[in-house]
Amino acid sequence: MKLMDKIKKRKAKCAVVGLGYVGLPLAIELAKVGYQVIGIDTDSKKVQAIHKKRSYIDDVKNQDLQQVVRNGKLRATSDYSVLKGVDVVNICVPTPLRKTRDPDISYIVEACNSIVRYLQKNQLIILESTTYPGTTEEAMLPIFEATGLKVGRDFYLAFSPERVDPANPKYKTNNIPKVVGGITPYCTKMAIALYNQVMKKVVPVSSTRVAETVKLLENTFRSVNIGLVNEIALMCSQMNINVWEVIDAAATKPFGFMPFYPGPGLGGHCIPIDPLYLSWKARSFGFETRFIELADQVNSQMPQYVVHLVSEALNTERKSINSSKILILGVTYKKDVADVRESPALHIIELLRGKGAKVAYYDPYISEFVYKRVKFKSIKLNKKNLSSYDCILVITNHSNYNNKLIVDNAKLIVDTRNALKSIKGKKRRKIITL
């Protein structure tokens, strides 16, 4: 049976390399529609969790994982040799930044070097990891064509950016429009055929480079606009204007305006990183991405500004930041997710400790974490603990906070998310916002 027929009849055997927040949901969706799916990950804990039918991703329900494992549609391994009998390979591995702030595609290259040992005719390979324009064509294609096989004839290669939005109750893997571009037109058709079986809408583009740039534009758009509103927040602070009131009023305009909100800094796996992939690639063409670099500069300075706010707030109480007890509310990069990657809270904690503050935290999603060899454990959020701290610093506005308890018992609050805006009363004078 030809590969296109296998895909359309859902007889193709699929492999998903990388079983994180992108790969595991994709593997489950493929399995749900009837494909035989093998998940591959070098992390044995993830493999074992799948065998035990236990989800380790917040957006993946245990019952969904249990269903596809029990019916034999999904299994997991760390052994790449299973690719010998596989028709489709989706690569969903991390793409971080190096310390030099250059793209690190080593996980992609490692995955390709493992896949190429088992590359065979009529295989479809799709990269979903966010990366700079040209990665699929310049870094991946030469590895596969070194075998003597020809893309578009002997095997098929495409790129389709992940668009996962953790904790989004409305948009999940199968109902987010799926952009896809192949190295050749037939590569694109193959990838479209696969995603048409799973996704509600597929959006084809003319090349892998276009598809790669789509994801970077999406997150650069957010980064630049957040940088703009952060700068507006700093300006409003100097002018004694409530930036939150300004944004809320501006958002009533039914056209030509989209509200973005200031915060303590960018976090997560995408927004702080993806725009720098784009600016790095642009530099290789002699092009300077000034908006991207400026937004990164503004956003990167927000943790220092938050520490300045805390210091100024304590000064009003005739206290020094040195030796003050400060309680951080929320250490995850985003509300209602259990993920501290690139969270501004980590940098803020480091800065506060560097100034001699005694820092603790509460986060209902993170019981403990280690940052720069220092271990932190979440405290209990109760009246006694809240009243014992000199300052409560709201970094992440989780939905399940007892805001009234916080406001009623805190001596002083610095609220970087305007999370406590609905709480009224005399205690409002003790709340400082961006």
Let me know whether 139 and 44 are in one domain.
Answer: yes
- Ranges of beta strands (E only) in 355-430 are 358-362, 368-371, 374-377, 391-394, 413-415
Query: Over pLDDT 90: what percentage of the chain?
Result: 96
Q: Give 396's pLDDT tier (boundaries 50, 70, 90).
A: very high
pLDDT in tens, 123-144: 999 999 999 999 999 999 999 9
Let me know whether 423 and 297 are in one domain.
Answer: yes
Let me know whether 278 and 427 are in one domain.
Answer: yes
Let me know whether 14 and 110 are in one domain.
Answer: yes
Q: Final residue of a domain: which of 206, 223, 247?
A: 206
Average per-residue pLDDT for the chain? 96
- Note whether residue 241 is domain-resident: yes
- Note whether residue 212 is domain-resident: no
Task: Report which secondary-structure segment, H or E, holds 123.
Answer: strand 123-127
Q: Which residue, chain included where needed, has tokens 């957040």?
A: 226
- Note whether residue 222 is domain-resident: no
Q: Which residue, chain included where needed, has tokens 């953790």?
A: 166
Let me know whether 280 and 165 are in one domain.
Answer: no
For residue 351, what are the CA distances in angstroms to 311, 356, 363, 411? 11, 9, 19, 22
- Note whether residue 213 is domain-resident: no
pLDDT in tens, 323-363: 999 999 999 999 999 999 999 999 999 999 999 999 999 99
Residues catalogued as catalytic? 270
User: What pLDDT sits at residue 422?
Assistant: 85
C-beta atoms surrounding 74 within 10 Å:
25
Smallest CA-to-CA distance from 378 within 391, 365, 367 is with: 367
* Dihedral, 221, 226, 229, 234 alpha carbons, nearest 10: -140
Let me know whether 172 and 256 are in one domain.
Answer: no
What is the spatial distance between Cα 99 and Cα 184, in angstroms, rounded to a whole number? 35
Let me know whether 275 and 408 are in one domain.
Answer: yes
> Within 13 Å and on the Cβ side, how many CA atoms surround 172?
14
- Note whether residue 216 is domain-resident: no
- Note whether residue 11 is domain-resident: yes
- Note whether residue 132 is domain-resident: yes
- Note whether residue 399 is domain-resident: yes
Pairing of strands 88-91, 13-17: parallel
pLDDT in tens, 56-72: 999 999 999 999 999 99
Looking at the DSSP assignment, which residues form a beta bridge with residue 75?
38
Let me know whether 182 and 244 are in one domain.
Answer: no
Let me know whether 172 and 302 are in one domain.
Answer: no
SS3 159: strand
Let me know whether 138 and 70 are in one domain.
Answer: yes
What is the spatial distance between Cα 247 and Cα 260, in angstroms, rounded to a whole number? 8
Instruction: Give the distance from CA 68 to its chain's centroid.
Output: 25
User: What pLDDT sits at residue 426?
Assistant: 54
- String of DSSP letters for 346-372: HHHHHHHHHTT-EEEEE-TT-SEEEET
Let me know whether 354 and 399 are in one domain.
Answer: yes
Angle between helices 62-70 and 44-51 (to 10 degrees): 80
Let me know whether 342 and 285 are in one domain.
Answer: yes
Pairing of strands 202-204, 391-394: unpaired
pLDDT in tens, 200-212: 999 999 999 999 9
- pLDDT of residue 272 exceeding 70, the answer is yes
Say which CATH number the domain at 184 has: 3.40.50.720
Domain count, the chain: 2
Q: Which domain holds residue 254?
A: 232-433
User: What pLDDT sits at residue 269?
Assistant: 86
C-beta atoms surrounding 206 within 10 Å:
11
